[in-house]
Amino acid sequence: MRALLLGWTPSGTVCGIIGCVSDEEVAGVLLDGLKRVEYRGYDSAGMATVSGGAMEVRKGAGRVNDIEEKMRLSSMEGKIGIAHTRWATHGGVTDANAHPQTSCREQVAVVHNGIIQNYAQLKAALMKKGHRFKSETDTEVVAHIIEEEYKRTKDPLAATRAATKALKGQYAIAVMIQERPDVLVGARKDAPLIVGVGDGKMFLASDVLAFIGRTDRTIFLDNREVVEVTRTSVRIVEPSGKEVVRRPNQVAWELSDLSKSDYAHYTLKEINEQPHTVSNAYLQDREKLAEFARMIKGAKSLFITASGTSYHAALLMKFRLNEAGIMCDAVVSGELKEHAAFLRKGSVVVALSQSGETADTIEAVKVAKKRGAKVLSVVNAVGSSLARESEEVLLLNCGPEVGVAATKSFTAQVVVANMVVDAVLGMKRIRPAKGLTEAVRKALQMESKVVELAKRYADRSDFYFVARGYEAPVAMEGALKLKELSYIHAEGMPASELKHGTLALIEKGTPVIVVNPSGSNHADTLSSAEEMKARGAEVIGISDVRDDVYTHYVQVPALQSKLMPVVEVIPLQLLAYHMAVVRKNDPDYPRNLAKSVTVK
């Protein structure tokens, strides 16, 4: 089966949800879907089905495969069911806190992604009415409220709508009621939930990956909408109570993107996809690029906002815009509101996000819009919340990124950010930069050298990454990758800052990575390397030119300077990956993290 890599659908949530109502048994389908959204959260998992008029719930702490093994989820019977893989917010990682959560008599089962901020008050009120709680989760209150409302209305959609009115916070929920094995209900506010329209079956899911291969027809729900699906129908109700008819979108996808192929991990597969994904990133609409350029040039104040790895791409974009004489700032999304005085009518905010669902980034653009700013976004996930908040959207076109660590989305962001800046500068070319794909391939060929380094340094407790100018965000990205995959403390910074404190930490044997392409900063960065070496550091040079100061040298091909980060980051991604493998960490599922952070 084939489809373009051009965009895929909503991603990004802390917790993965899937529900299915079908003319066939659903357990296998749900289990399959659960494994595909597991990268969103992986501390516990569970499934509920209704069969023969009875609800059955099996769940527990652990990864999906552990729970499947322990509880044989695939043997559960029923043609309707909901399932969940969790990243704990409220309540520890225990069997009882795993989802689905149920009401007192297990009449109602709910899976949830998000946070119910007023759950404590709701819980107290429900307990007064005699409800008994089995978990410490915020989610359980939702099941109890729906139970009450269903008793009153005997209407699953009305009961869920009424319940959501009591909730404060964020949610994407899928609801199943024992008495109504023909109906699933979903609701969303500030967390993604989509409908998959199949033949004789319907899905509710936090991500299209959950049902790829079973249908490619998807309906995106808007904020605060409630949806009821049966095997053959979809009913969407707006917050006002009005029903809306929405036609499904055809989702472009490639089933093979979901397999690891011959790679040991998704992360390694995604690193190796980069020769292809960087050239796909060039598949941009000329008109949209021109509109980005027009708005950026006309902005009264200009911010680029993003979180984590995407923020490092934002820093690169800021650097190039500043170099072109355009004043702008790159601000981590969680902090943009602190710059509110500069956000007003005429301001433009460019938001970068792989998932398009990062809570901090969504909040930042909402604050900016409230103050009159216009929002442009660059996302990988078509139809994501961020895309829907934006005036104009450019897509990364790099296909689903399953590994929790952002890799191919970063290099795609660097390409698209450069195209935007080139358009601002009046350059017309939108074809892939000559030699880029080949250069990425060459950088990937350094893997065996990087494996040696990973083995040599895997027992270290601290790493430093330094660079100057345009390369400084690459150093920061290298440090972030190493922290999250290997759990080794790492810092990335401009080399100029070393003397202002960090040099005190350099001692015999300290590994320092220096990202140092030829160009105007080359000589100064070599001097910084010498200073560290003189204090005992083992300097690993990432550069297109060798130098004796490097204890180890990883060669990357020379490219136009604006694209050098694309090849420089590849050995750093490989180092973090191999360091994780040597240290026996799971690189696809680093501890305590989830792919995309939809809670604040």
- Contact residues for ligand F6R (CB under 6 A)? 12, 307-310, 353-355, 358, 361, 405-406, 480, 484, 596-597
* Cβ-closest position to ligand F6R: 308
Give the largest CA-CA distance in the chain. Answer: 79
State which residue, 308 or 383, has the beta carbon closest to ligand F6R: 308
> Shortest approach of ligand F6R to residue 383 CB, angstroms?
14
Q: Is 122 exposed, middle or buried (0-12, 13-18, 19+ CB in 10 A)?
A: buried
Closest CA to 263 of 594, 581, 593: 581
Nearest Cα neighbor of 458 from 540, 552, 580 is 580
Instruction: Give every strand in the sheet of 374-379, ordered side by side.
Output: 329-332, 302-306, 348-353, 374-379, 392-395
- The pair of three-digit structure tokens given for residue 537, joined into one six-digit string: 């550091």
Cβ closest to ligand F6R, residue 358 vs residue 525 = 358
Is residue 45 a contact partner of residue 36, using CB atoms and an 8 Å limit?
no
Contact call for residues 405 and 389 (beta carbons, < 8 A): no
Q: Which of 385, 368, 369, 386 has its CA nearest to residue 377?
A: 386
Tokens 């998000």 sit at which residue?
Answer: 114
Active site residues: 15, 595
Indicate the residue type of 185.
V
What does each C-alpha distance from 458 to 173, 512, 576, 584, 585 come to in angstroms? Answer: 42, 13, 10, 10, 11
Name the minimum Å distance from CB 149 to ligand F6R: 34
Q: Is 490 left (phi over 0), alpha (psi -120 to 50) or beta?
A: beta
Which residue's CB is nearer to ligand F6R, number 21 or number 576? 576
Nearest approach in angstroms of CB 160 to ligand F6R is: 28
Give the integer Cα–Cα distance in Å for 417 and 399. 18
State in angstroms the smallest separation of the CB of 449 from ligand F6R. 23
Q: Which is nearer to ligand F6R, 284 or 355 (CB)?
A: 355
Neighbours of 117 (CB within 10 A): 13
| Residue 257, token pair as written in the block | 């993107």
Task: Find the shortest distance in angstroms from Cβ 358 to ligand F6R.
Answer: 3
Cβ proximity to ligand F6R, 215 vs 358, nearer residue: 358
- Nearer to ligand F6R by Cβ, of 566 and 597: the residue is 597
| The total number of residues written for the chain in this structure | 600
The dihedrals phi and psi of 33, each to the nearest 5 degrees, come to -60, -40
CB of 405 to ligand F6R, least distance (A): 4
Cis before 100 (ω within 30)? yes
Rg (CA), the chain: 25
494: three-class secondary structure by DSSP: strand
- Least distance in Å: CB of 188 to ligand F6R? 18
Shortest Cβ 463–ligand F6R spacing (Å):
16
